[in-house]
A = this chain, B = another copy of it.
Amino acid sequence: MKTLIFGHKSPDTDTICSALVYADLKTKLGYEVEPVRLGELNGETEYALEYFKQEAPRLVETVADETEQVILVDHNERQQSADDIDKVEVKEVIDHHRIANFETDGPLYYRAEPVGCTATILNKLYKEQNVEVSEEMAGLMVSSIISDSLLFKSPTCTEEDEKAAEELAAKARIDLNEYGLDMLKAGTDISDKSAEELISIDAKAFEMGEANVRIAQVNTVDTAEVLERKSDLEEAMQKEINGNGYNLFVLLITDILDSDSTAIAIGENQAAVEQAFNVKLENNEAVLKDVVSRKKQVVPPLNKVFG
């Protein structure tokens, strides 16, 4: 029986590429695995896959109907994973996030490092296992690093990520800056996206103390263009709150050129955002100066407020 490898819901470039890349490594090591995905591709990821001529992983909603064993990449929290994750055995996790809402019955291989991107860890695993990285896999890994680090501007980006990206860019035969900006921009075209899509393309749920918090992020090169649709976005967020019982929904609109974010926050625990970032919400909105990383700059301070 094949072991399925997948990243989180609302997949981003690192989640999709890491599933493909780790499946490549495990296959070369003799394992029977298949990369799958839990949601739709975003424009940025489509750009990367097309550039390196790779098929997207197969879309699945549940996993227990086809396997008993899975490998998680780029996530571990239950609510970000397959709906029936509790019905299968997690054999491995390769991740770079905090650990929470995760539990196993038995021992497993768990490899997390506090780096900016799962692909940076995967690049190490190829070396540890003495497996050559192909041009295509190098391309997917460098795309992941560019995406998660916003071309090295995010505070989550470490020296290791930058070194890995340079090494992989050479193997993938791309110019880091040119390819990187083209790929990031490909992810910012919102003209054909509904408000519902915009708040779910890159969205994650977190349990913080007693609160159920949803944090979505949209990258842009034109914040004003996104804010033109604010009332539609708020309506869509409110619908999600009603349907899923979130106590707080935060939408981060992140300018990838300026490296600031504008937050729209609604829900009964709206005030937590003011407290966490020492800002005043006006019409549910506040600018978060120099904030680009959900993981490093948004989740920890919010978690502290709810803690």
* Chain A residues near B (Cβ < 8 Å): 96-114, 128, 295-296, 299-300, 303-304, 307
Bound complex: CA A111 to CA B107 (Å)? 12
Q: Are A112 and B114 in contact (CB under 8 A)?
A: no
Residues of B close to A109: CB separation below 8 A:
112-114
Residue of B nearest to A207 (CB): B103
Other-chain contact of A99, B96, B97, B104 (Cβ < 8 Å) = B104
Q: Are B104 and A103 in contact (CB under 8 A)?
A: no
Main secondary structure of the interface of A (DSSP, over half): loop
Can you show 27 pairs from A to B with CB atoms below 8 A apart?
A: A97-B107, A98-B104, A98-B106, A98-B107, A98-B108, A99-B99, A99-B110, A100-B104, A101-B103, A102-B102, A105-B300, A105-B304, A105-B307, A106-B295, A106-B296, A106-B299, A106-B300, A107-B112, A107-B113, A107-B295, A107-B296, A108-B112, A108-B114, A109-B112, A109-B113, A110-B113, A111-B111
Residues of B close to A128: CB separation below 8 A:
128
Bound complex: CA A98 to CA B106 (Å)? 5
Q: Are A110 and B112 in contact (CB under 8 A)?
A: yes
Residue of B nearest to A296 (CB): B106
Residues of B close to A101: CB separation below 8 A:
103
Residues of B close to A105: CB separation below 8 A:
98, 299-300, 303-304, 307
Residues of B close to A114: CB separation below 8 A:
106-109
Residue of B nearest to A86 (CB): B307
Residue of B nearest to A110 (CB): B112
Residues of B close to A300: CB separation below 8 A:
105-106
Residues of B close to A96: CB separation below 8 A:
107
Residue of B nearest to A304 (CB): B105
Residue of B nearest to A111 (CB): B111
Bound complex: CA A97 to CA B110 (Å)? 10
Select the residue from A105, A107, A111, A307 with max chain B CB neighbours within 10 A: A107
Q: How far is the CB of A96 from chain B (nearest CB, A)?
A: 6
Bound complex: CA A100 to CA B107 (Å)? 10
Q: Are B100 and A103 in contact (CB under 8 A)?
A: yes
Bound complex: CA A100 to CA B108 (Å)? 12
Q: Pick the 7 closest A-B CB pairs, nearest first.
A: A110-B112, A107-B114, A100-B103, A98-B104, A105-B303, A105-B300, A98-B106
Bound complex: CA A100 to CA B102 (Å)? 7
For the A-B complex with A98-B103, A110-B111 known, give 10 more contacts whose Cβ atoms are closer than 8 Å.
A99-B103, A99-B104, A99-B110, A100-B104, A105-B299, A106-B295, A106-B300, A107-B114, A109-B112, A109-B114
Bound complex: CA A102 to CA B101 (Å)? 8
Other-chain contact of A110, B103, B107, B110, B295 (Cβ < 8 Å) = B110
Residues of B close to A112: CB separation below 8 A:
107-111
